Each structure stands twice: as structure tokens, then as C-alpha cells.
């Protein structure tokens, strides 16, 4: 849809009239698009029954510990979801696929969100444990779009999706929102339909399940000019540790010297090596001399001393 030739903003899909968020942006991976979106491919992805030539990027590589979010939107009706104006996904097909997934241990928990007309009927036939499903409307109800974007010429977002996004936009990084708060945030009068969810197959209590079980966040990186202030100052103990490493190579203790590439820390598990280094006075002198700050301040003193030396010498020789 983003690359449809009738899209006025090619490769951009907005969720709001203000065009603030491009949902088809740089951090979105689209694996199936266009004519590849068929019911057969969808069921193959879910069950993992691909041809051998299908690349890994087009497979659902999940295992028995995975949490999967399955979000479907479009046109639908009583126990079906429309695909590509030509075929439909039926609720028993979906239930079959989920059953196969469970048998093959392809998920631990599955959250199905459906935003179509009469969405709740799509998961009528589900029987596998560990599945949680929510639909935007019940049987006999329609789901409505939220608002029209006159610039693009179509409605940009449906009500259920809009209020789901609104819920997540309100959260900050430290909120520990639970699924129950998400599900109870849907207001039937605002949605103009009843959001119905099915939790009989899901054994955990919804108040205990954080939304981050199924939803992730996209970090926005902001570039600042202060790039050189990022790292901490050099560790003064660093060169001491290096010294003792040189001196006590013959020691057999385990010494873990992790030099992180950014130059943060050095972990020295065994402190005995430093005692060995401090026994010799020459090594302590070299130790002190090689400390980074000392070298720096020495050079700075030398530089500053150049000026009075110059003045004095010029005045003397006059």
C-alpha cells in the first residue's frame, strides 16, 4: 500500500492526519508485500512449512520461548478476513495454523489483535493454550475508521488501532503497564464498537503481564554535537594494572583483563599482582611516572614554563 502508485506520498504510510509518524520508516522490516501477501503464504509463515528455497528473512524463526504478536487489519466479517480482494482467511484455518504452531512448539505466548468488522468472530475456533486474542468489534458490529486525511484522500487509521497507538504513546520508559490496562483502555463509545477479548486460553492473569511481553519500542536516536564528552575520564588505576601485569607474568593466578574497546574499565580479579609490583622501588617510580595524568601535567608545565624562559633569556642576552 505504501508503494501503491496512487499513494501521493510514496513509501510513506501515516497513522495520523498530521503526518508526524511515518509507519513505513527506516526501522520497519517488510518481508512480504504486494502479490506475496496471500493466505497460503500467511499460513506457511505461521506454521513454518516453507519451500527449501525460501530465505530466512521470510520465515518466522520462533521457538518454544517466543512471544508472538499477530496483528491483522483490513476488511472482514463473520469468521473471515479478506485478503487482496480475492481470497479470505477463515477462522478455522487460523485455528488450525495456531494448533500446528503449538504442536511444533513455535510459541510460548501468542497475542492476536484483529481490527476488522466483526473481528471477534475470527478467533472463535481457537483452542490452543497460551493464546490471547482481542478483536475490535463483536459479531454483528462494524469497526470504523478514525479520521480522513484529505491530503492523501483516504482514511488513515481505524479507531481501534488509533486508540491502541494512543495508549502506547501515553506510556514512558518507566511505566510498567499491563495488558489489562491496555484492554480496559478501550472505550466502546469512542470506538463505536465493543472491543472483545478472549482470555480463556491464556493461563496468566492479565494484570501481571506487562505490555512489553508483546510490544516493543523504537528508540529515537538524537544526534548531538557533544560527541567527545560521551566517555568517562581515564581510569587512573589503569596503568597500575598494566604495570603489575608486566611484572608478574610468571604468576599463575587467573587474571581477567577486560579492555573494553571504548577504554572504560579494567577488571583485575587478582589483587596480589599489585603487591608484587610495589615491592621494587624503581617500579613504583616508573609506575608513578607512567601514570597518565602525571605525564600530561608534566608536559603542560613544560609548555607553560617555555614562555618565562623565553622572556628571561631574551632579556638577559640583550
Residue ranges in contact with other proteins by CB under 8 A: 225-226, 228-229, 231, 233-234, 238, 262-263, 290, 292, 295-296, 298-300, 302-303, 306, 309-310, 313-314, 317-318
- Other C-beta atoms closer than 10 Å to the C-beta of 239 total 21
Q: Which three cell numbers stand for residue 305?
A: 614554563
3 is catalytic: no
User: Which H or E run contains 148?
Assistant: strand 145-149
For residue 280, the minimal CB distance to other proteins (Å) is 20
For residue 267, the minimal CB distance to other proteins (Å) is 16
In the bound state with other proteins, the residue whose beta carbon lies nearer, of 35 and 282, is 282
117 is catalytic: yes
In the bound state with other proteins, the residue whose beta carbon lies nearer, of 20 and 233, is 233
For residue 240, the minimal CB distance to other proteins (Å) is 13
Residue with cell 604468576: 251
Centroid of chain to Cα 125: 32
Q: Which three cell numbers stand for residue 102?
A: 503449538
Annotated active-site residue in 75, 92, 105, 147 = 75
For residue 237, the minimal CB distance to other proteins (Å) is 12
For residue 297, the minimal CB distance to other proteins (Å) is 10
CA distances in angstroms from 87 to 40, 158, 184, listed in the order given: 10, 22, 33
Phi/psi of residue 65, each to 5°?
-105, 5
Q: Which residues pair with 145 in a beta bridge?
A: 158
In the bound state with other proteins, the residue whose beta carbon lies nearer, of 233 and 254, is 233
Rounded Cα distance, 154 and 2, in Å: 13
In the bound state with other proteins, the residue whose beta carbon lies nearer, of 51 and 262, is 262
Beta strands in 74-117 (DSSP E): 76-77, 80-83, 87-90, 109-115
In the bound state with other proteins, the residue whose beta carbon lies nearer, of 84 and 290, is 290
Nearest partner of 168 among 182, 189, 187, judged by Cα: 182
- Mind telling me the catalytic residues? 75, 117
Amino acid at each position: 500500500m505504501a508503494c501503491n502508485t496512487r499513494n501521493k506520498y510514496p513509501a510513506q504510510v501515516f497513522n495520523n492526519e498530521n503526518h508526524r509518524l511515518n509507519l513505513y520508516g527506516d526501522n520497519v522490516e517488510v518481508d512480504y508485500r504486494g502479490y506475496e501477501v496471500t493466505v497460503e503464504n500467511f499460513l506457511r509463515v505461521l506454521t513454518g512449512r516453507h519451500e527449501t528455497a525460501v530465505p530466512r528473512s521470510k520465515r518466522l524463526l520462533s521457538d518454544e520461548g517466543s512471544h508472538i504478536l499477530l496483528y491483522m487489519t483490513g476488511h472482514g466479517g463473520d469468521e473471515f478476513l479478506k485478503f487482496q480482494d480475492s481470497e479470505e482467511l477463515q477462522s478455522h484455518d487460523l485455528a488450525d495454523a495456531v494448533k500446528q504452531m503449538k504442536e511444533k512448539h513455535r510459541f510460548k505466548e501468542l497475542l492476536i489483535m484483529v481490527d476488522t468488522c466483526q473481528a471477534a468472530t475470527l478467533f472463535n475456533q481457537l483452542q490452543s493454550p497460551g493464546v490471547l486474542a482481542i478483536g475490535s468489534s463483536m459479531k454483528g458490529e462494524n469497526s470504523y475508521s478514525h479520521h480522513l486525511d484529505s491530503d492523501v484522500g483516504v482514511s488513515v487509521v481505524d479507531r481501534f488501532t488509533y486508540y491502541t497507538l494512543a495508549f502506547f504513546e501515553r506510556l514512558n520508559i518507566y511505566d510498567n503497564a499491563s495488558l489489562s490496562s491496555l484492554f480496559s483502555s478501550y472505550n466502546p463509545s469512542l470506538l463505536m464498537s465493543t472491543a472483545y477479548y478472549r482470555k480463556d486460553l491464556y493461563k496468566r492473569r492479565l494484570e501481571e503481564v506487562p505490555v512489553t511481553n508483546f510490544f516493543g519500542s523504537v528508540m529515537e536516536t538524537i544526534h548531538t554535537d557533544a560527541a567527545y564528552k560521551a566517555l568517562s575520564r581515564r581510569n587512573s588505576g589503569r596503568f597500575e594494572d598494566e604495570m603489575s601485569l608486566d611484572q608478574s607474568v610468571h604468576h599463575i593466578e587467573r587474571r581477567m583483563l577486560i579492555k573494553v574497546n571504548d577504554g572504560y574499565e579494567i577488571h583485575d580479579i587478582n589483587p596480589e599482582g599489585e603487591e608484587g609490583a610495589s615491592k621494587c622501588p624503581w617500579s613504583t617510580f616508573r609506575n608513578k611516572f607512567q601514570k597518565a595524568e602525571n605525564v600530561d601535567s608534566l608536559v603542560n608545565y613544560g609548555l607553560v614554563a617555555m614562555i618565562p624562559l623565553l622572556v628571561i633569556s631574551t632579556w638577559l642576552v640583550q
